[in-house]
Amino acid sequence: MHEFKSKRNSLYCENIKVLDLAKRFGTPLYVYSYHTLIGHFLKLKTAFHSLNPLICYSLKANSNLAILKALVDKGAGLDIVSGGELFRATQAGCPGERIVYASVGKTDREIEEAIHRKILFFNVESAAELENINRISKKLNTSTQVAIRINPDVEPKTHKYITTGKLTNKFGIDFKSAYQIFLLRRALSYVRISGIHIHIGSQITEAEPYLAAIKKVIEFVETLRKKGIFLEYLNIGGGLGIVYDRETPQTAENFAKKVLPLLKRSKLKIILEPGRFIVGNAGILVTRVLYIKNTPKKKFVIVDAAMNDLIRPALYGAYHTIIPLHCTPYTVHRTEKIDIVGPICESGDFFAKDRNLPKLKEGDFLAIMGAGAYAFSMASNYNSRCRAEEVLVVKDEVFIIRKREVREDLVRNEIVPAFLSGL
Ligand code: LLP
């Protein structure tokens, strides 16, 4: 599954001992495995090779330039959701024709920049947005390609905060309204609607919700065909789940086997937008035990990473496997029930609750697994904590891909008005 393996009771990332990285670079520390990253991208590419889809890595999962460059060099496109992500895509050298742009709230400036960058298409999320793209394209005297993001109203069976394809969610356009848009498309002469996009949610572990959504969309495409409306692209979004705990998500191969027959039937060019599947298990967060604290009700292990480094447990109650880096056969068998918490002033600042782990002591190091996706990219400076360093391991080599922030970074953009400085 990934290149983080235990050998002789030590955790390795590719050929490097994680403990050595923690000692050399300090903690908290994000460690990524290059070969896991690329391996997952290639797994998907291979599974779908008969359709030769464009795989647009969803860079919100992890937008570090080195990660983007690694994937773009292997032929990946990028799925973006903001002007900032467009900037990153450009910095990483991604060709415009491999960029797709979703988001319910694209600003005029963001739309103009993406048009200038000649992206493949916008995934349009409302009639108002479509009119706005038409207006801006007219001003720029250009024709802009778009796909309509359909909200297929299916249940993806995942956490409610990351469910996106139900009609109670803000995303996409329902079939009826989308049909009206297609019928009236000629009124908007500066946009070309050439595709359909869906993205039903994230961390989806079964193929069924995809099958349900794709079936609905293909019926819709056929209805449009009968009306003489022909499309070119079908973007099935991202959302493929990974293993954090005991999940048994579909492999790329199984997923492809199930959806390929349907996708082939559509006769459209297929686009996928995975984020987590590619990068989720390619990264870990390494942290050090600061204190052990016993209370009448609990035993807390206080570590130097916090919810500002990995917010998933606090935000979604997400489970992340935690591996002590000092495991010996002796300690493995002496487990106890503990809470692993960070130093932030919130009770939601935890990584594990009532978890059975080998007995830990101050100074021990822990690896929080599955921290490649939605960890650093959701990190903040809350409690004025500097964001941690990121390193990339390639076999026996390690590269710093983002320096640890320093105190000056925290106040870099802040200005104390002269009247407060007594000037
Ligand atoms: N495409 C669109 C339009 C999206 O909104 C997303 C994710 C993706 C693709 C990629 O989804 P993935 O393959 O990574 O599941 N912060 C949450 C996940 C939020 C996902 C947001 N949209 C988490 O930590 O679980």
Q: What is the pLDDT of residues 11-23, one digit of tens each?
A: 999 999 999 999 9
Query: Cβ(211) to ligand 1 under 6 A?
Result: no
Cα of 157 vs centre of ligand 1, distance in Å, is 14
Which residue's alpha carbon is at the smallest distance from atom 16 of ligand 1? 374
What mean pLDDT is predicted for residues 74-87? Answer: 98
pLDDT in tens, 365-396: 999 999 999 999 999 999 999 999 999 999 99
Question: At residue 161, does pLDDT exceed 90?
Answer: no
**pLDDT tens-digit readout, 301-358:** 999 999 999 999 999 999 999 999 976 555 566 799 999 999 999 999 999 999 999 9
Is the predicted pLDDT of residue 40 greater than 60, yes or no?
yes
Residue 222 has pLDDT above 80, yes or no: yes
Query: Which mutation among 210, 276, 374 tests ligand 1's pocket best, with the greatest number of atoms within 8 A of CB?
Result: 276
370 lines ligand 1 (CB under 6 A): no
* CATH fold for domain 4-31+280-406: Lyase, Ornithine Decarboxylase; Chain A, domain 1 (2.40.37)
For residue 192, the cross-strand partners are 145
pLDDT at 393: 98
Give the strand pairing for 191-197 and 144-149.
parallel
For residue 203, the 8-state DSSP code is: S
Strand, helix or coil for residue 394: strand
Which of 13, 56, 327, 345 is catalytic? The answer is 345
* Distance separating alpha carbons of residues 336 and 165, to the nearest angstrom: 41
**C-alpha span between 191 and 185 (Å, rounded):** 8
Question: Angle formed by the axes of helices 252-266 and 34-47, to 10°?
Answer: 40
CA 292 – CA 303 distance, rounded (Å): 9
DSSP-assigned beta bridge partners for residue 237: none
Whether residue 28 is preceded by a cis peptide bond, meaning omega within 30 degrees of 0, is yes
The Å distance, Cα 19 to ligand 1 centre, comes to 31
The SS3 call for residue 301 is strand
Query: What atom of ligand 1 comes closest to residue 318's alpha carbon?
Result: 25
b/e burial code for range 334-363 (CB count within 10 A of at least 16 → b): eeeebbbbbbbeeeebbbbeebebbbbeee
Q: What is the C-alpha separation between 154 and 136, in angstroms, rounded?
A: 33
Identify the pLDDT of residue 156.
84
Name the amino acid, one letter, at 353: K
Instruction: Single out the residue of 66, 112, 118 nearest to residue 96, CA to CA.
Output: 118
pLDDT beyond 60 at 166: yes
Instruction: Give me the percent of the chain exceeding a pLDDT of 90.
Output: 93
Report the candidate in 52, 60, 62, 56 with the shortest Cα–Cα distance to residue 79.
56
Q: What is the pLDDT of residue 83?
A: 98
Render the burial of 112-138: b for 16+ CB within 10 Å, e for the rest.
bbbbebebbbbbbbbbebbebbbebbe
pLDDT at 421: 81
pLDDT value, residue 329: 54
Q: State whether the beta carbon of 19 lies less than 6 angstroms from ligand 1.
A: no
> Which residue lies with its CA nearest to atom 6 of ligand 1?
238
The H helix count followed by the E strand count for the chain is 14, 20
Whole-model pTM: value is: 0.97
Could you tell me which residue, 156 or 419, shows the higher pLDDT? 419
> Could you give the C-alpha distances from 261 to 108, 167, 218, in angstroms and in order?
39, 27, 12
Judge if the beta carbon of residue 79 lies within 6 A of ligand 1. yes
**C-alpha to C-alpha distance for 371 and 56, rounded to whole angstroms:** 20
Distance 239 CA to ligand 1 centre (A): 6
CATH code assigned to 102-273: 3.20.20.10
DSSP per-residue letters across 308-354: TT--HHHHH-----EEETT--HHHHHSEEEEEEE-SSSSTT-EEEEE
Mean per-residue pLDDT for 202-217? 96
Distance, in Å, from the CA atom of 423 to the CA atom of 421, rounded to the nearest integer, reads 5
Q: Is 72 helix (H, G, I), strand (E, B) or coil?
A: helix
Ligand 1 pocket residue status of 102, Cβ below 6 Å:
yes
3-state secondary structure of 222: helix
Cβ contact 9:327 at 8 Å: yes
- Closest ligand 1 atom, CA of 238? 13
Q: How far is CA 155 from CA 130, 204, 317, 348, in A?
A: 26, 10, 20, 28
202 lines ligand 1 (CB under 6 A): yes
pLDDT score, position 330: 54
Using a 6 Å cutoff on CB, does residue 275 contact ligand 1? yes
Listed by start position, the domains of the chain span 4-31+280-406, 102-273
Q: Hey, whose CA ends up nearest to atom 9 of ligand 1?
A: 238
Determine the Cα–Cα distance for residues 273 and 405; give it in Å rounded to an integer: 30
**Ligand 1 atom closest to Cα of residue 276:** 14
**For a substitution probing ligand 1, which of 273, 311, 351, 378 has the most ligand atoms within 8 Å of its CB?**
273
As a whole number of angstroms, the distance between CA 308 and CA 383 comes to 8
List of E strands, 343-405: 350-358, 365-368, 389-394, 397-402
Asked whether 276 lines ligand 1 (CB < 6 A), one says: yes
Pocket test residue of 58, 85, 149, 316 for ligand 1, highest count of atoms within 8 A of CB: 58
- How far does the centroid of ligand 1 lie from the alpha carbon of residue 104, in Å? 14
pLDDT at site 60: 98
Is residue 94 part of the annotated active site? The answer reads no
CB 28 less than 6 A from any atom of ligand 1: no
Residue 200 alpha carbon to ligand 1 centre in Å: 9
> What pLDDT was estimated at residue 224?
97
How does pLDDT run across 226-249, given as a tens digit for each residue? Answer: 999 999 999 999 999 999 999 999
pLDDT value at residue 162: 83
Query: Contact, 22 vs 284, CB < 8 A?
Result: no
At residue 54, the pLDDT reads 98
pLDDT (0 to 100) of residue 160: 87
